[in-house]
Amino acid sequence: MFEKVDSKCEHIKLEHRILKWWQEIKAFDKLREKNAGGKVWSFLDGPITANNPMGVHHAWGRTLKDVYQRYNAMMGCEQRYQNGFDCQGLWVEVEVEKEMGYKTKADIERAGLEHFINRCKERVEKYSKVQSGQSIRLGYWMDWDNSYYTMSDENNYTIWAFLKKCHQRGLIYKGLDAMPWCPRCETGISEQERREGYKNIEDTAVYVRLPLVRRENEYLLVWTTTPWTLAANVACAVNAELKYAKVEQGGCKYYLAESLIKVMREKGEYKVEEVISGKEMIGWEYQGPFDELEAVKVAFAEKKYVHRIIEWEDVSDSEGVGIVHIAPGCGKEDFDLGKEFGLPILMPIDERGVYSEGYGFLTGQSAGEVADQVLEKLRAKELYYKKEKYAHDYPHCWRCATPLVFRAVDEWYIDMSWRDEIMEVTKQIRWIPEWGKDQELNWLENMADWMISKKRFWGLALPIFECECGHFDVIGGREELKERAVKGWEKFEGNSPHRPWVDNIHIKCEKCGKDVERIGDVGNPWLDAGIVPYSTVGYNSDKEYWQKWIPADLVLECFPGQFRNWFYALLAMSTMMEGVKPFKTLLGHALVRDEHGKEMHKSAGNAIWFDEAVEKMGADVMRWIYCGHNSTNNLNFGYGIGEQVSRRVFSTWWNVYSFFVNYARLDGFEPGSEAVAYDGFSANSVS
Site residues, Zn ion (CB under 5 A): 182, 184-185, 397, 400, 402, 467, 469, 471, 509, 511-512, 514
Query: Closer CB to Zn ion, residue 103 or residue 601?
Result: 103
Shortest distance in whole angstroms from residue 16 CB to Zn ion: 41
Phi, psi of 31 (to 5 degrees): -60, -45
H/E element holding 429? none
Query: Closer CB to Zn ion, residue 350 or residue 611?
Result: 350
Distance CA 275, CA 466 (A): 55
Query: Closer CB to Zn ion, residue 34 or residue 487?
Result: 487
Shortest distance in whole angstroms from residue 91 CB to Zn ion: 10
Query: Closer CB to Zn ion, residue 91 or residue 390?
Result: 91
Helical ranges in 367-488 per DSSP H: 371-380, 419-427, 435-446, 478-484
Shortest distance in whole angstroms from residue 174 CB to Zn ion: 14
Query: Closer CB to Zn ion, residue 185 or residue 569?
Result: 185
Radius of gyration of the chain (CA): 31
Listing DSSP states for 193-244 in one string gives HHTT-EEEEEEEEEEEEEEBTTSTTEEEEEEES-GGGGGG--EEEE-TTSEE
Query: Closer CB to Zn ion, residue 309 or residue 522?
Result: 522
Shortest distance in whole angstroms from residue 470 CB to Zn ion: 7
Distance CA 565, CA 401 (A): 19
Q: Where are the beta strands (DSSP E) in 524-606?
A: 552-558, 583-589, 592-593
Distance CA 137, CA 611 (A): 9
Q: Which among 300, 352, 358, 351 is positioned nearest to 328, based on CA atoms?
A: 300
Q: What is the dihedral of CA 492, 498, 503, 505, to 10 degrees?
A: 40
Q: Which among 275, 278, 250, 267 is positioned nearest to 207, based on CA atoms?
A: 267
Shortest distance in whole angstroms from residue 569 CB to Zn ion: 21
Shortest distance in whole angstroms from residue 275 CB to Zn ion: 46
Phi-psi region of 268 (alpha: psi -120 to 50; beta: other; left: phi over 0): left
Shortest distance in whole angstroms from residue 186 CB to Zn ion: 8
Query: Contact, 133 vs 160, CB < 8 A?
Result: no
Shortest distance in whole angstroms from residue 468 CB to Zn ion: 6
Helical ranges in 447-516 per DSSP H: 478-484, 489-492
Beta bridge partner(s), residue 635: 592
Shortest distance in whole angstroms from residue 67 CB to Zn ion: 37
Listing DSSP states for 645-660 in one string gives HIIIIIIHHHHHHHHH
Q: Which among 136, 146, 183 is positioned nearest to 23, based on CA atoms?
A: 136
Helix (H, G, I), strand (E, B) or coil at 518: strand
Query: Closer CB to Zn ion, residue 208 or residue 516?
Result: 516
Query: Which amino acid is residue 576, in one-letter code?
Result: M
Query: Closer CB to Zn ion, residue 182 or residue 570?
Result: 182
Query: Closer CB to Zn ion, residue 283 or residue 470?
Result: 470
Query: Closer CB to Zn ion, residue 197 or residue 523?
Result: 197
Shortest distance in whole angstroms from residue 182 CB to Zn ion: 3
